[in-house]
């Protein structure tokens, strides 16, 4: 039976270890940077569902421009970690960190050169998020959504071997849904869809540690007993498939959608 998910409580519990238990994919950040104007001195970035700031921190490192930064998250604890990451970053000339939902972003209209949401939109009301993003963007501004589809989730090591993982995770948006919702807004033009596939290698011990740390919020949808029963079955399935292999190879896939403000 799926537990009621409390977004705020989950991320408050994991905020102190989130950077250690999640992998930050640099490749999509590099690709977004390649799409930004290289000649401008300043760009305004709005990160919705910023978490601890892992991805926007990578973006700030990659761009040559100075940054005006607005980070928004519902979790005060995650936002505190994000604020700490930018305490001494000289490239960020203006910064604000706001506790807010993706359905109502306290941001002026038409100010953002880039609006980004990384591994977060499954926590959002998609229609309201897209409306807020479009409202916040300058003309020709870029919207970058990095996420995982249900199909991609089923192909992860968790979707393949952890009992009920794909069924529990019913919040992910299909690619078709994302395309149609973006197309429904006259202010946005879907410019590109790009897929990323990463081959990972982890020991079973590391995989178990990640699950116990609830590095994916999906694990918080299980009751205590359901989770530990599933973890035991996961271990048996992994050992049956991979034997005593020191590392378990697996694929992690995501999709990046880029849209322009028109």
Judge whether 136 and 110 are in contact, CB under 8 Å.
yes
CA 197 distance to own-chain centroid: 15
Pairing of strands 92-99, 66-73: parallel
Residue 11: C-alpha distances to residues 7, 44, 48 (Å): 6, 26, 15
The position carrying tokens 């035991």 is 232
pTM as predicted: 0.95
Residue 152: C-alpha distances to residues 23, 147, 157 (Å): 16, 10, 10
DSSP for residue 97: E
pLDDT at position 46 is 98
Q: List the beta bridge partners of residue 133.
A: none
pLDDT at position 253 is 98
Task: Supply 173's token pair.
Answer: 């948006």
Residues near 221 by beta carbon (within 8 Å), at least 6 away in sequence: 2, 3, 5, 168, 169
Q: Closest by alpha carbon to 51, among 11, 1, 21, 102? A: 11
What is the rounded CA–CA span in Å between residue 178 and residue 189? Answer: 12
pLDDT at position 116 is 99
Domains of the chain, earliest start first: 7-151+170-199+252-261 (3.40.50.150)
Judge whether 258 and 191 are in contact, CB under 8 Å.
yes
Q: pLDDT tens per residue, the chain (262 residues)?
A: 555 567 778 898 899 899 999 999 999 999 999 999 877 899 999 999 999 999 999 999 999 899 999 999 999 999 999 999 999 999 999 999 999 999 999 999 999 999 999 999 999 999 999 999 999 999 999 999 999 999 999 999 999 999 999 999 999 999 999 999 999 999 999 999 999 999 999 999 999 999 999 999 999 999 999 999 999 999 999 999 999 999 999 999 999 999 999 9
């Amino acid at each position: 039976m799926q537990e009621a998910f409390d977004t705020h409580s989950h991320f408050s519990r994991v905020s102190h270890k989130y950077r250690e238990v999640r992998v930050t994919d640099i490749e999509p950040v590099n690709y977004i940077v390649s799409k930004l104007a290289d000649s401008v001195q300043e760009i305004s970035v709005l990160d919705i569902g910023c978490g601890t700031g892992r991805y926007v921190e990578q973006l700030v490192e990659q761009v040559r421009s100075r940054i005006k930064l607005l980070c928004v998250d519902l979790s005060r604890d995650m936002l505190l970690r994000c604020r700490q990451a930018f305490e001494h970053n000289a490239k960020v000339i203006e910064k604000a960190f706001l506790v807010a939902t993706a359905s109502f972003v306290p941001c002026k209209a038409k100010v953002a050169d880039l609006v980004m949401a990384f591994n977060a939109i499954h926590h959002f009301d998609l229609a309201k998020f897209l409306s807020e993003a479009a409202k916040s963007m300058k003309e020709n501004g870029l919207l970058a959504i990095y996420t995982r589809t249900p199909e991609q989730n089923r192909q992860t090591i968790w979707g393949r071997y952890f009992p009920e993982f794909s069924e529990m995770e019913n919040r992910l948006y299909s690619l078709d849904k994302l395309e149609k919702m973006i197309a429904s807004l006259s202010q946005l033009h879907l410019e590109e869809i790009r897929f990323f596939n990463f081959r990972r290698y982890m020991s079973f011990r590391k995989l178990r540690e990640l699950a116990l740390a609830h590095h994916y919020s999906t694990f918080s949808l299980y009751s205590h007993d359901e989770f530990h029963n599933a973890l035991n079955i996961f271990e048996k399935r992994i050992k049956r498939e991979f034997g005593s292999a020191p590392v378990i190879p697996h694929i992690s896939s995501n999709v990046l959608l880029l849209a322009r403000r028109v």
